[in-house]
Amino acid sequence: MLSSQELVWLLAAVAKADRTAFERLYAATRAKLYGIVLRILRRHDLADEVMQETYLKVWNSAGQFDPALSSPITWMVAIARNRAIDMVRKKTEVSIEEESDVLETAAAESPDPLAKREITEELRRLLACMGRLDEERRRLVLFAYYGGWSREQLATKFATPVNTIKTWLRRALIEIRECLGS
């Protein structure tokens, strides 16, 4: 993947309707975004739909991206996750467990994500703070983030009343905020 500066530059070009830049941006970010939305939606057809919406939104809103406020990948991930979560909330009638092996297959086929990786200062700090959470709450936060689970789903999975889940989430999030000191 490209550096953050390169992505910022690409987004700036996309904001000027540069299709070549858009294609490069897609190439640089598609696997990351697809990995995230597929994990939430667990179905390739839904993930494909969310990818389309996400990149159309990126195309249309690239000019609103402000590098002072966010980083390109964080911004794009937020768009993709929000779309995926909206969809998964609306698709409760569809069993999202149907293709539960979808991730296994897909992950096995994808190139080694560890080939080149970096741990940034921010990630290290966040992991430190996650590590300080009570184990149950850490699991809760991670399941919510990676799986896009609602409080109700978390309550079922953790066999805990929704109100308790709510309290746990609130405390965990506040702990994270205090730990990060921001």
Partner 1 sequence: MTDDTEAETETPEVLAAEYVLGTLASNERERARTMIENDPAFAQLVRAWELRLGQLHAMVAPIEPPPETWARIQARLDGTDPSTAMLLPHPDHAARVVAEGNVVQLRRRVDRWRQATAALAAIAAALIAFVATSVVGPDMLPGGLRPKPVEIVRTVEKPVEKIVEKVVERTVNPGRFVAVLQQDAASPAFILTIDVATRTASVRRVAAAPQAGKSYQLWLVSDQFPKPRSLGLVGTNEFSQPALASYDPAVIRGATYAVSLEPEGGAPDPDNGPSGQVVFSAKLVEAVPSSP
Least Cβ distance, residue 20 to partner 1 (angstroms): 12
Least Cβ distance, residue 56 to partner 1 (angstroms): 6
Question: What does the DSSP 8-state code read for residue 110?
Answer: S
Residue 56 or 94: the one with the smaller Cβ distance to partner 1 is 56
Least Cβ distance, residue 121 to partner 1 (angstroms): 6
Q: Which residues contact 138 (CB under 8 A, 6 or more apart)?
A: 130, 131, 172
d(C-alpha 84, C-alpha 42), whole Å: 10
d(C-alpha 137, C-alpha 167), whole Å: 10
| Nearest of 113, 12, 101, 114 to residue 58 by alpha carbon | 12
d(C-alpha 59, C-alpha 11), whole Å: 9
Other CB atoms within 10 Å distance of the CB of residue 104: 9
Least Cβ distance, residue 125 to partner 1 (angstroms): 6
Residue 94 or 166: the one with the smaller Cβ distance to partner 1 is 166
